[in-house]
Amino acid sequence: MIEFFLWVLNQNKCYECYHFHDFYVGFPSTNRHTPSVIWEEVNEKLLNGRCSRPHDVLGMHREKEHIIVRTFLRGVTQCDVVNRKTGELHGMEKQHRDGIFFWKSDGKTAAPFPYLLRATPHGQPVREFEDAYRFPPTISEFDCHLFAEGKSLHIHRHLGGHFCAIDGVFGMRFAVWAPGASRVSLVGDFVQWDGRYFPMRPLGSSGIWEIFMPGLSGRGPYKYELVDSLGHVQLRSDPFAKSYEGPPHHASLFQREKTHIWRDDRWMEKRRRERPFRKTISIYEIHLGSWRRVKEEGDRPLTYAENAHQLATYCSQMGFNYVELLPICEFPFEGSWGYQTTGFFAPTRRYGMANDFKYFVDVLHRSGIGVILDWVPSHFPKDRFALAQFDGTCLYEHADSRQGEHKEWGTLVFNYGRNEVRNFLLASALSWLEDYHIDGFRVDAVSSMIYLDYMRSAGQWIPNFCGGRENFEAIDFLKEFNILTHKLFPGIFTIAEEATSFPRLTAPVDCGGIGFDFKWNMGWMHDALDYFSTDSFRRSHCHGKLTFTMLYQYSEHFILALSHDEVVHGKSSLLSRMPSNEIRQKAQMLRSLFGYMWTWPGKKTLFMGGEFGQYNEWYYARSLDWHLLDHLDHGGLQRWIRDLNHLYHGRPWLGYYDDEPCGFQWINPDDHQSSVLTYLRRGCDDSQCILVVCNFSAMGRNHYRIGVPTVGIWREVLNSDGQEYGGHGLGNFGSKFSEAIPWNAMSQSLSLFLPPHSTIILEQISRCGKIAADFS
């Protein structure tokens, strides 16, 4: 039918768009339509775009002993019904000059039959085509029930647009949830965006509208035209679409892509066996649009495919075993960096199509690198083409702005108490794991979800039924999210970006927790950056900022993150925040910070550019300053991160004991006058042990004595002041023998030279006389 419609549209431009409707066998046999009823229904509703139940008027129906067919074909002089079984031709009567055609059997035909429509447009050849109303509903009553209960885990397989075949006829089925609409139509180029054509079928009380479009193929934009309860007409993108146009139209796109053949079986099998909190995890946080750009081609960003190969090579060399993507779910406003999502099931087309993103993930997996998606179920923008007041009512959001709006962000809050909304978000997460092999999620702005008074003054929020500020519905949603994702996809992990001390975020749900695997350690991040932004001669007064975090270190499973949030909005880059006027000294300080970070308990996350000392603050529409690597200070910093990663992954026990108090031991946390921290990271025995010595002052410390637990040679494995890193090359000549001088409550000690602004990592020679595994 669509093929005929498009053909007529191209052949006869003087006529308005043609309309053909489908058939619904379930028309009640007791309903006998007289011509006056037909006239009223068609003239006042179909022709005026107000028909909420087109299947009650158009298509094939049984009327007592008769079979009747009605269709609406504008610009057609004659139409016939063709019996597909017998080939018999039944002429239709034109009942209205605008194109209402009607046929009634003579009583000999007792049952509905498969048929085609045969139409003769003005001055054009005869064409045969499928009537879309020849097909039954494409969504079962049971699936509608599950969605209403919030339990349809694969509702994204039913709602949205999907290529399929029904009774051997290929086309596309479309479905959308809009319970507040009085009429929903599918519109696109194929109907010149006229909502009077292709009104959809409501499925009972579910609020779901659907239609099957036989013959629709290729690719093209589409939207839903909705008439709300007040008669206002609105155009909406498909919330479940897999692809969207960019600004200004933001239409959903249907496109038949080839099936991607995954080649990451080895990675996926390995993932299923792993326990993330027992492994070393070093995450490279990246914004795909600004990591690298092609200046020779208008400074465009790299495509998914280009990013895949370059990023896989870079991360492998640098020792990052995961990348975390700033949101790539489709979004309209570039300046939001993706955090104002409108397409929760679609990778943004800025860098390619859905299959291109699958290829991106596949390449990284085959290089041994996982992919984490920054996912935003906490809020959504007010753009009227998307979710906001989708069907004329507050469908996805709360009606009361005290619950449904983030005024500071200018966004809306999901109504987590509505089953269908929870189901929508859960299906989004599951689709990324299933369709794109994503390895985990970093969930944005969890604090804004779990607190009703988040960024709100008194009187601007509504307490829960206990009178408190916890959002129980959001908390239940997060629990369900974590339960489902871990149950269905073993080995993935979830990360909470949560800035308060809400308890047990990373405890299992069955133990009273929320079920996340990790939480960003925001306290560590703020304290560390405050400390390192302080002039060296003042640091003795804020020494506690570095040691305080150990008081709560084992209350959650933490990730130490220096993220994108710390290099924007006037905060400057990490390098430029170091308190010095000399680039070399800034780099020296930053190397000492990274050394402290990589040896402190917790997984690691670093935003792109930090690894080589990006000097300018990050900007989403500009590439990182890769030319800085030509300078030793920046190239040396990059090598330092590389070697820290290799040291970290080369000692798996560092990750295994991240969350165990036995994996960390203070030697001296209290030398605030010298701004020196010393501690051990331990494994299961004395052979698994590194000594970390941090001198955060501007003065070198000669003959600085440090207690050690065992007798032997302690080798200097890494020294941030090494010349290869841009330092002065000061150190301890490669190794030191322990002395039988008790110190720091230990029987042995070392006398070391500590370069200014440095982190030194030492490791004892094993008992068998071999040197422990090298970082290189």
In a 13 Å sphere around the CA of 428, the CA atoms on its Cβ side amount to 26
Which residue from 276, 265, 241, 268 is spatially nearest to 255, judged by alpha carbons? 241
Tokens of 478: 């997060």
SS3 236: strand
- Strands 380-381 and 411-412, by their bridges, are antiparallel
**Active-site hit among 330, 497, 517, 527:** 497
Active site residue 497: yes
One-letter amino acid of 200? M
Q: Tokens 């649009």 correspond to what residue?
A: 289
Q: How far apart are CA 99 and CA 234, in angstroms?
A: 26
| Residues in Cβ contact with 586 at an 8 Å cutoff, skipping those fewer than 6 apart | 575, 576, 578, 580, 613, 633
Residues 646, 651, 657, CA angle at the centre, nearest 5°? 125
Active site residue 299: no
Which residue from 591, 563, 564 is spatially nearest to 575, judged by alpha carbons? 591
**Active-site hit among 362, 439, 444, 527:** 444
DSSP state of 391: T
Tokens of 447: 């604090």
* Helix and strand totals (H; E) in the chain: 16, 39
Q: Tokens 């030492």 correspond to what residue?
A: 762
Q: Are 518 and 558 in contact (CB under 8 A)?
A: yes
Length of the chain in terms of residues written = 776
Crossing angle of helices 354-366/265-273, nearest 10°?
Answer: 70
Per-residue burial over 6-44, b if 16 or more Cβ lie within 10 Å, else e, is: bbbbeeeeeeebbbbbbbbeebeeeeebeeeebeebbee
- Strands 329-330 and 233-236, by their bridges, are unpaired
Q: Where are the beta strands (DSSP E) in 407-503?
A: 411-412, 440-443, 493-496
List active site positions: 444, 497
